[in-house]
Amino acid sequence: MNLIKDDWFTVEKVDNETYVISEYKHWEETHCYLLNGTTNSLLIDTGLGVKNIKAVVNKFATKPLIVIPTHTHYDHIGGLRYFDNFYIHENEEDWINGNFPLPLDFIKNLLIEEPCEFPLDFNIDDYEIFQGKPTKILKDNDIIELGNRTIQIIHTPGHAPGHICLYEKEKEYLYSGDLIYKGKLTAFFPTSDPKTYKNSIDKVVNLPIKKILPSHFDLDLQTSIIKEIKDAFEQIENDGKLEQGSGLFHYQNFTISI
């Protein structure tokens, strides 16, 4: 059930203390997650930044907010400018703070790659890549306490060097970022690494997981997709093709682009 559906964001409940905020009008169909705990709320990712996500977050966040992007690609950090503080993994501290490695025109072309009804007050000419100083640097296995909820940081590089998944053991939720979703999984950027991506899948495949909460596309994922992605990477490696530039590998629920 949609709690909000305005001209840009859609908000739905995952459970009584967890919300998903989606940008379905854009071809990337981004999802951000808001987790309410008894001492803090946590926003995972901030979307494209073409409309003020904080106005939506404020409607549902019940405690002081911690903001953590899964990595520093534009579609996850776009809304950071609306918040006072954020945490980022140590491997992408320089990307967010002065040294983003991809040119602005490349990002703008991605943003308008497919036809999209952007909000009326959005102007692509004004779009910038957020830069700012993180309030805290994250490392693998760090714990974020929200009072009654405990979230573990799992460093899962490959798509991007500082990519993290967030794992909530109690609920057996995996907030999978761009590591796992139904669609084109990408390790073709110059800053990606297919071998590391494969290792990151191995890192999460044996966790007890009831629900995968991805950053893009279909929200209704079977948890078996992790094993399917693992098997696919193993096949690609066995065929000697786990090298950047090998191309596209198609499977029933996803495509791997390396």
Q: Is 89 in the site for Zn ion (CB under 5 A)?
A: no
The least distance separating Zn ion from the CB of residue 156, rounded to whole angstroms, comes to: 12
Extract the tokens encoding 103: 């040119």
Q: Is 75 in the site for Zn ion (CB under 5 A)?
A: yes
Extract the tokens encoding 104: 């602005």
Closest residue (Cβ) to Zn ion? Answer: 73
Binding residue for Zn ion, selected from 178, 181, 182, 212, defined by CB under 5 A:
178
Q: Is 45 in the site for Zn ion (CB under 5 A)?
A: no
* Residues written for the chain: 258
Q: Using the rule CB under 5 A, give the single segment among 9-17, 50-58, 172-180, 239-247 that binds Zn ion.
A: 172-180
Kind and range of the H or E element at 230? helix 225-238
What totals of helices (H) and strands (E) does the chain contain, helices first? 6, 16
Q: Using the rule CB under 5 A, give the single segment among 53-61, 67-75, 189-197, 250-258 that binds Zn ion.
A: 67-75
Q: Using the rule CB under 5 A, give the single segment among 56-64, 134-142, 170-178, 227-235 that binds Zn ion.
A: 170-178
Q: Is 31 in the site for Zn ion (CB under 5 A)?
A: no
- In sequence order, what are the residues at sequence separation of 6 or more whose Cβ sits closer than 8 angstroms to the Cβ of residue 234? 198
The least distance separating Zn ion from the CB of residue 177, rounded to whole angstroms, comes to: 7
Q: Using the rule CB under 5 A, give the single segment among 18-26, 43-51, 95-103, 173-181 that binds Zn ion.
A: 173-181
Separation CA 90–CA 86 (nearest Å): 13
Separation CA 101–CA 253 (nearest Å): 30
Q: Is 73 in the site for Zn ion (CB under 5 A)?
A: yes
Separation CA 10–CA 55 (nearest Å): 13
Separation CA 63–CA 37 (nearest Å): 7
| Residue ranges that bind Zn ion, judged by CB under 5 A | 73, 75, 178
